[in-house]
Structures are given as C-alpha cells and as structure tokens.
Structure 1
Amino acid sequence: MSNYKTCLLIDDNYIDNFVTRRILEGGNFAEKVIVSQSAAEAIDSLRSGSVKPDVIFLDIRMPVMGGFEFLQEYDKLEIDGKKAIKIFMLSSSLDPTDIKKSSNNKYITQFIHKPITQKILDDICT
C-alpha cells in the first residue's frame, strides 16, 4: 500500500527525473507520481487544481524559476490542503547556504541530497 496518494516531482533534469521516478514507483511511495520539468509549470498545475499532491520533491537549481523562486510563488497560492503538503528539497547542492535557507523555509520539511534512495523514502514514511 502506498504511503501517499500523489507525489509531484519538480526537476528540470530528465535523467534525475527518470531515476527518482523509478525509485518512487518501485518503493510504492505514492499511488501516482507526476513529473514536472519546470517550476513555473508546477505552479500553474497547482493553481489550476489539476495536480493535488500530498508530497512534493523540489530541485533547487532550475532555469527560469529555481526551487526557492518556486517557494515564493507557492506562498502566494490559495489551494486546499496547502498546510498538509510536505515539500522535500531534493538537490545535489552541497552549498551550506542552500541547506540553511531550506531549513529556514516554513514549507520545507527536509533537505535531501540526490540521489534519493529507498532508505531515505523509508525514513520519510516513518
């Protein structure tokens, strides 16, 4: 049985998305995994209600709109269940500033270093 109904993965890197999606699906993490290669596209999907995630995995470094810019736009959204959505910053960044900024953001549940593993998913779900 899946831990979450819908997981939204926001990352501009096709290979990272492919690998992360396989791990999420293989680990039965969510009933549905939706991939968005653009933070702006993800904001539009959330705003329109076409995507209603329980959990979001968000990359920091993306062109046009990065993870922190996504969070600024996310803050402006008025969507049902917003407070219950868990957002995990999923990044290869080792920059202590990114990690600190993530830990200080009210929407970020946890900063996770790529690649995601089954152990990380198990820890999230317990």
Structure 2
Amino acid sequence: MTNNSRSVSILLVDDDEINNFISIKLIKKALVSSEIKACLNGKFAIDELKKLKEAPSPGLPDYILLDINMPLMNGWEFLDEYKRLDIDPEGKSKIYIISSSVFSNDINRAKSYRPLVKDFISKPLNIEKIRELFEAEKLA
C-alpha cells in the first residue's frame, strides 16, 4: 500500500494530544503518502471542514477518524452537525469512529449512522489496525 500514486488526506478528531501524536506516527508509518491534520474536538473539526469545503483544492479529507468522548462537541454531536450542514454531499470522506469505548450501545449507535460512518474501531490504534482499515478500503 506504500506505492500509492496520490497522497491520502486524513482528519483526526480526538481531544487526546498524546494519542494524536502516536496515531499520526503510526499512520505515517503505515501510509507513507499521507497528509494528516488533527483537531482537538468536534467543533474545531466542523470549522476546519467548512473551510476545506470552500477551498478549491485539495478539498475535503479522504478519511475522518473520529473519537466519541471529547469536550465542546463530542463525536455524536459532530456527526449530527456534519449531516445537518451537508458538508459532504458526494460522500468523499469516509468516517471511522475510533474510540476506547467498549460499550455495546456506543458500537450500536455508530452502526445507526451508516452509511455515513463506515466502522467502529477500538483504540488503541496500531499498525495492523491501520493497515487493515486502509487495505479494506482499497478493496471496497
């Protein structure tokens, strides 16, 4: 997968700066051609996506990796606002919930957001999970 001809753009939405640092390192190791931007909560991410939507290029990210539990605007509120604002009418961005939650109600709630949310991935991220995610996407 390291032989991608174009760069993959990723928006990481998580309030844990240490976790973001580690996730970015792992993603860059798994996907050499990747542009990653981190936002510390859903509100900042919505603001960033509104700017990217208006930009001529490169536009919206290919992937949004979204935590659930964050201050200011959590992952569920982010998804509701994302849909309400119709940020991505063509469905360019693939959204994955990345959470340390093991509660079945969170996993089921994530499924209720399909097809907007592609899958629920448990933290911590590791190289194998990242490769699986992007390999599965490549085959889809």
**TM-score, with normalisation over the residues of structure 2?**
0.81
Root-mean-square deviation (Å): 1.9
Q: Which has the larger radius of gyration?
A: 2
Letter in 2 for 1:65: M
- Aligned equivalents of 1:76 and 1:29: distance in 2? 34
- Aligned equivalents of 1:101 and 1:18: distance in 2? 27
- SS of 1:120 mapped into structure 2: helix
Percent of aligned positions with the same letter in both sequences? 32
Match of 2:65 among 30, 33, 57: 57
Q: 2:132 — aligned with what?
A: 123
Measure how far apart 1:81 and its partner are.
6.1
**TM-score, with normalisation over the residues of structure 1?**
0.90
Task: Tell me how many residue pairs correspond in the alignment.
Answer: 126
Measure how far apart 1:32 and its partner are.
0.3
Using the TM superposition, name which of 50-59 and 66-75 deviates more: 50-59
- Aligned equivalents of 2:112 and 2:86: distance in 1? 22
| Contact residue 41 and residue 70 of structure 2 kept, 8 A | yes
Q: 2:121 — aligned with what?
A: 112
Instruction: Report the CA distance shift for 1:112/1:77 in structure 2 as closer, same or farther (over 3 A).
Output: same
Using the TM superposition, name which of 27-36 and 95-104 deviates more: 27-36
- Aligned equivalents of 1:38 and 1:62: distance in 2? 6
- Aligned equivalents of 1:32 and 1:87: distance in 2? 16
Q: 1:75 — aligned with what?
A: 83
Instruction: Report the CA distance shift for 1:10/1:68 in structure 2 as closer, same or farther (over 3 A).
Output: same
